[in-house]
A and B are shown apart, each in its own frame.
Chain A
Amino acid sequence: MTVRQAGSDSSPITVFAARSIVTMDRGRPSAQAVAVKDGRVLSVGTLASMQPWLQRQPYVIDDTFRDQVLLPGFIDPHTHFGMSGAFLGLHYVGPIDSPGPRGINPGLESRAAVLAHLRKLHESMPDRQQPLFAWGFDPAVHGGQLHRDELDAISRERPLWVLSYAPHFVYTNSPMLQRLGATADMTLHGLGRDPDGRLNGRFVEVSAIQFALTPFREEVMRPDRNEDALRMLGDAAKRAGVTTTADMAFGFTDLEKEWREHAKVVRSPSFPLRMVLVPLESMIHKQHGADSVQFVASLASRSDDKLRFHGIKFINDGSYPAMSLRLKFPGYLDGGNGLRGDVPWEELAQRMYPYWERGIQIHAHANGDEAIDAVLDALAALQERKPRFDHRYTIEHYCLSTPDQARRLKALGGAASVNNYFVHYRSLLHSQQGFGPDRAEATARLGSLEHEGVVFALHSDFSLVVVPMHPLTAVWTAVNRIAADGETVVAPGERIGVERALRAVTIDAAYVLGLDSELGSIEVGKAADFTVLAEDPLEVSPERIRDIDVWGTVLSGVKQPA
């Protein structure tokens, strides 16, 4: 909690004047100015309407945003920063655009473009001993395998390491070969050589790649790596306009170690994001057994308003893009089905009950409709045992659902947090592979949830699935439901309006994290967290929502340009 000094009237008020402010407060939906004091909203309206405050206290007007639009800071309530480190140390050199921590990485279409990009990266890194790791080189598109000499031409000092797009080849230069300890007289299947026997820097197929992965593993184990990764992801979030995110699998490897890293990085004043940490129940259970709930409850004492613990997370099936979610009849196109989680579904309610009883909010991952049934059954059993009202049991992902499930979710009092990005990125693909047209086209039935009156949020799961962390894209997808071909509207009846979609990345996202009294709208008393946009999503034509420029954010009243 922020320590407030008694009688803090002496701390100055900052009034941000903007072209327009979208508050997400239905009663007072729009404004032109917001007054901030001690990192919280003091008043929203116009300079004229907030005179009762301004007459009594010193204030400054900040018109940085005079031509911009302010919204409540976007909230992505389901990400996995802690698990995303692997991708961040790798620079992308692939042939097609691909989402990454800096937004969409543009594709590099030629060999020359790849080499030029690597050279540029090399020249941007001051420490010449630091290795450079890249991935995505595609010999089919980029004109054949890379050779040691080409990479040596970029640098003979810095170790270079390039993994191919389909991970069948590793390409290295001389300093990396040296670091690997690879010598010409080595006997290793798949160690690439020129006709004269000299090593050509290539490593092919299993044994050789295993050997060549060592520096990457060492990079992953570098002590400061996780912290560097967190900082990078914080910047990525800021550029996407995100001011709060929740890590939905905290403690995946080592809770205390992860806590130390997060406490150090997130609580630094320059870190631009609030983080909510949701522990993974299966790991807690493994370590604490019968004392699990006690332990989770004790975590609250570590929380403050920038970094806090909340809730508990259960995983019940697989993932959408990996095609490991669980479906009801008739299963997948090939007759198969996906994976369940660790806790058998028949035991789920039993396992959840201690948290339910204690009032610790439950988040239940379920991607496919069979898994959604299972988590609804668990919720029903919990209600049967101890009826509760404002429990906020939230189904996470909710990708392939049925309309009757939305109705049941409403009846049981639950909420949903939906990864709707797949509607655009993958619905057509999975009509042909995996799920079939009926289910794939109806991915993310937000219209059904809205119709039944269920509160729902939108999230990216960044970066475990190949979609960007970009709430404007989530909003655009929810409103338009345009598939990857740029034309097909899939399940048009499941589209929702812009206002509802914006709620799902602001106030309703705060709701599923139990934070809607503190965050998610621009109202007196709430945190002064804003997203600063060049245009108003409610005014642009709907196809353009995702293209709106993000200036950056404001966190606790402090400006954070992207």
Chain B
Amino acid sequence: MASDARALDAWQMLLGIEQTARRTPVRPAAAEIVPFTLVSGFLGSGKTTLLQRMLERPAGRRIAVLVNDFGAVNIDAALIRSRGPTVFELSNGCACCSLAAGLAQTLADLLAGPRAFDAIVMEASGIAEPLGILHVALSNPGLRLSTVVTVVDASDVQNQLEDARTRATLEQQIRAADLVILNKLDLVDAGELARARASVAGIAADVRMVSAAHGAVPTELLLDVALTSETGELLANIPVAHDCPYRSHVLETPAVLDQRLLCSLAEALPATILRAKGFVRLAHDPAHRYLFEVAGRRWSLQRQPASATYPHGLVVIGTPSDEDLSTLRVALHACGSAQSATHIQGNDSSR
């Protein structure tokens, strides 16, 4: 039975990939690539509320939201709908029994149309396997992965993990997550929260967790982070939101970094760091800047066009202690490459 379900997931994914491939032959310019966030979690975990809050506080982004079905959700969804033309229902109309093909088509249409958005957030259906959805969505070269968020009901997660009918799906959702939101904080006491955390950690050892009531999570944690203010200054020490504990910090990075050391560092960041982003130069290719991004345990390095201007430094977001920060500063410094900086050419705004 379970293997039947997996075969279907695989077929759906392959179909979605094929449909995307047929519709998107050309890779767009780097500047046009849109960050994609996936929000998964069971019905009743609070996904919709989270999305609603995100739309109310978009952190300077114009967000296109794909939701499963307006009709099926509760009254809150009407509020999502009322936010205007950037909220889309992920419909099944052209899908011919395949959610994956429907997703491929919806994304292709969105990206081909007028760009009233600069980020896409998708609400996955409660029982969906995130990885399959991601493979389909990301097979579209117009998208890159921002964050995989899994919303979990802190007051019920242990039961859900013990229940054989829900365990497998929930495990998949947690393992796929860059960030787990332990929601419904208002319904649990400290002991229950600690047990919920332990349950989640038991599934994915160092997954980043954020606890919240009513989906109150800063949007910056869910989306791509804007690195510079309008005046070109790197954002530093600005509270992400005045009523929550997350902060952003800017750390200096060496002029040129050894990529292996940097990757090792990325995989060993303290759990208090939820996101990081910066432009760095790497020893094996010093003529280019690389966008270095961390979301939870997942990191990426993407080469950037040579001609643009880039700020220097690494922004990290989370709740790092002073000790975490100083350890991190030292570790970053140790990533510096012995390679000489003399052949690095201009277009470096802070040096």
Contacts and interface: CB of A to CB of B under 8 A. Distances in A.
A202 to B, nearest CB: 15
Contact of A282 (B8, B94, B98, B298): B94
Contacts of B266: 189
B263 A187 contact: yes
Contacts of A464: 11, 15, 96-98
Interface residues of B, number: 66
Given A220-B21, A343-B93, A322 B14 contact: no
Given A187-B301, A397-B97, 15 more contacts: A83-B18, A83-B101, A87-B11, A90-B14, A167-B9, A189-B263, A189-B266, A206-B138, A207-B300, A315-B92, A315-B94, A339-B69, A339-B90, A341-B92, A464-B96
Interface string B94-125: 11111101100000000000000000000001
B23 A206 contact: no
Contacts of A249: 96
Of B25, B92, B102, B176, chain A has the most CB atoms within 10 Å of the CB of: B92
B135 A210 contact: yes
Interface string A156-175: 00000001011110000000
B96 A80 contact: yes
Interface in A69-89: 80, 83, 85-87
Interface centre among B7, B17, B135, B176 (most CB of A within 10 A): B7
Given A135-B10, A339-B92, A340-B91, A334 B135 contact: no
Interface residues of A, number: 73
Interface stretch (A238-246, A263-271, A426-434): A426-434
Contact of A465 (B91, B97, B139, B165): B97
Interface stretch (B126-134, B218-226, B245-253, B307-315): B126-134
Interface in A480-509: 484
B135 A209 contact: yes
Interface of A: 80, 83, 85-87, 90, 94-96, 98, 135-136, 163, 165-168, 185, 187-189, 205-207, 209-210, 213, 216-217, 220-221, 248-249, 252-254, 280, 282-283, 315, 317-324, 334-343, 365, 367, 397, 425-426, 428-429, 432-433, 461, 463-466, 484
Nearest to B298: A189
A282 B109 CA distance: 13
A468 to B, nearest CB: 12
A394 to B, nearest CB: 16
14 contacts: A95-B3, A166-B9, A217-B21, A248-B96, A315-B92, A317-B92, A335-B43, A335-B44, A339-B102, A340-B92, A341-B91, A342-B93, A425-B4, A426-B4
Given A189-B299, A206-B145, A221-B25, A167 B94 contact: no
The 6 closest A-B pairs by CB, nearest first: A342-B93, A319-B97, A86-B18, A339-B92, A86-B14, A341-B93
A342 to B, nearest CB: 2
Contact of B126 (A185, A334, A365): A334
A339 B10 contact: no
Contacts of B9: 166-167
Contacts, number: 189
B18 A85 contact: yes
A83 B259 contact: no
Contact of B96 (A185, A189, A280, A340): A280
B139 A210 contact: yes
B43 A334 contact: yes
B284 interface: yes
Interface of B: 1, 3-15, 17-23, 25, 42-44, 68-69, 71-72, 90-99, 101-102, 125-127, 129, 131-132, 134-135, 138-139, 145, 148, 165, 176, 259, 262-263, 266, 282, 284, 290, 298-301
Contact of A86 (B7, B15, B92, B96): B15
Contacts of A282: 93-94
A167 B98 contact: no
A40 to B, nearest CB: 34
B97 A322 contact: yes
Most buried by A among B97, B135, B139: B97
Nearest to A331: B72
A85 B16 CA distance: 11
